[in-house]
Structure 1
Amino acid sequence: MASKDQVESLTEEVVCPICLDFFTDPVSLECGHNFCRSCITQSWDKEARNSCPECREQFTDRTLRVSWALARLSEKARTLSLNRTEKESKLQCEEHQEELKLFCETDKKLICVLCAGGREHRDHRFMLVDEAVETYKDQVKSSIQSLTKKLSGIQQMEQKQGIVLG
């Protein structure tokens, strides 16, 4: 399996130096540098000259060669990157490498289904993560409202004291 550094190194090779995203309709210039077709044509239109943004070599005409191999590699890298992001976005149990789907109300922490069945959490109360998020979100909102009212009162007192002292 490829390491994270290897994947990032490969990804750098399939990213357009202008838009800094995976190549879309990649083309090669006569100097050998690659760009998205739309990126290079917009660059040339904006600068009113046909030169490579990387090496600055100038060209008499706009000869663009489609790079089919780079297009395929870019698409594969894009898919690999999306799959890696999806996997990384799921929190996993350090002990079982399972997705953390439950919230242990007793310990106030996320756990996997295997942990919930284990000895450590035997008599604990659980709820689904989504339910816990809603419950605690409501509690946080309530706390914020209460603190905002208290802050407003303090600010009013400070203003009154400023008027009396000033």
Structure 2
Amino acid sequence: MTDSLCLPLLTLTMAEAQLCGLQDEFTCSVCLDTLTDPVSLHCGHNFCLKCLSNYWDQSQVCSCPQCRHTFTTRPELNRNTLLNEVIKKLKKTTLSPPPPQNYAGPGDVECDFCTGKKFRAMKSCLTCMASYCQTHLQPHYERDALKHHKLVDPDRNLKEKLCEKHQKSLELFCKTDDSCICMMCVVTGHNGHKMVELETEREEKQKQLGATLSNIKRRLLKREKTLKEMRRAMEEMKVS
């Protein structure tokens, strides 16, 4: 192969490699697929026109799904023509879909922010009361406003951790009323009550449960011993 042919091929290969390296930049963080009819927000993040429209239609506020930047009025969405052309070229390269093992299967907790086929949640946020896949979880590691949120292993029962009255996260335990409460409950109905953190109460309850189980076990062993003695006495009576 002559040098005149090698140079264009080498340039093409390098360009494809660079585009593939930027594949994540052209992925919609809502559907986790390559952008379709891309639109750009003022915060700099890009989404599929349809994905962002549906996301806002289902939300009470207009905010960026990735960085949570809130807009006072719903912005008019116009397709980013330049980005759309770049994505067309990107699609001509060797694109690979997300690994299938990342999709949620039976028994997995699904990501609350994926549309279409859900990805498996990597963490649940007790502050946001939502579960996130690896992609949608990133803002919690990158944005200062989200870094203080409490992340736990995926939990499918997050709704049970919400206050039924105020729909806020249950953070305290009221010993006076023997109930889990949120911060709004403290202000509205538990003033002057004895309260502790949920974790503190959980540890105390576990200790009490452990003591109760040990007591039950001792009683069972004592009754088994009594039963054996009675059986032995009955056998001796039969022999007599």
Q: TM-score, normalised to structure 2's length? A: 0.36
Residues 117 and 161 from structure 1, CA distance in 2 versus in 1: closer, same or farther, beyond 3 angstroms?
same
Write the letter of the residue equivalent to 2:229. Answer: K
Residues 80 and 105 from structure 1, CA distance in 2 versus in 1: closer, same or farther, beyond 3 angstroms?
same
129-138 vs 110-119, greater mean Cα deviation: 110-119
> For residue 187 of structure 2, what is the aligned residue in structure 1?
117
CA deviation after TM superposition for structure 1 residue 122, in Å: 2.3
CA deviation after TM superposition for structure 1 residue 111, in Å: 0.7
1:162 aligns with 2:189: no
Residues 82 and 146 from structure 1, CA distance in 2 versus in 1: closer, same or farther, beyond 3 angstroms?
closer
- Calculate the aligned-residue CA RMSD, in Å: 3.0
Which structure dedicates a bigger proportion of its chain to helix? 1
The 5-angstrom pairing of residues 45-84 of structure 1 reads: 68=96, 70-71=97-98, 77-78=118-119, 84=130
Write the letter of the residue equivalent to 2:228. Answer: Q
Q: Which has the higher contact order (CA 8 A, sep 6+)?
A: 1
> For residue 143 of structure 1, what is the aligned residue in structure 2?
212
The number of aligned residues is 100
Structure 2: gaps of 5 or more residues: 1-30, 32-93, 104-113, 125-129, 132-153, 236-240
C-alpha distance in 1, partners of 2:217/2:192?
38
C-alpha distance in 2, partners of 1:143/1:158?
22
Residues 87 and 95 from structure 1, CA distance in 2 versus in 1: closer, same or farther, beyond 3 angstroms?
farther
Displaced runs of 4+ in structure 1, greater than 4 A?
72-76, 79-84, 86-89
Structure 2 residue matching 1:103: 3-state secondary structure: strand
> For residue 105 of structure 1, what is the aligned residue in structure 2?
175
Identity within the alignment, %:
18
Q: TM-score, normalised to structure 1's length? A: 0.50
CA deviation after TM superposition for structure 1 residue 89, in Å: 4.5
Structure 1: gaps of 5 or more residues: 1-9, 11-65
Write the letter of the residue equivalent to 1:137. Answer: Q
> For residue 59 of structure 1, what is the aligned residue in structure 2?
none
CA deviation after TM superposition for structure 1 residue 67, in Å: 6.9
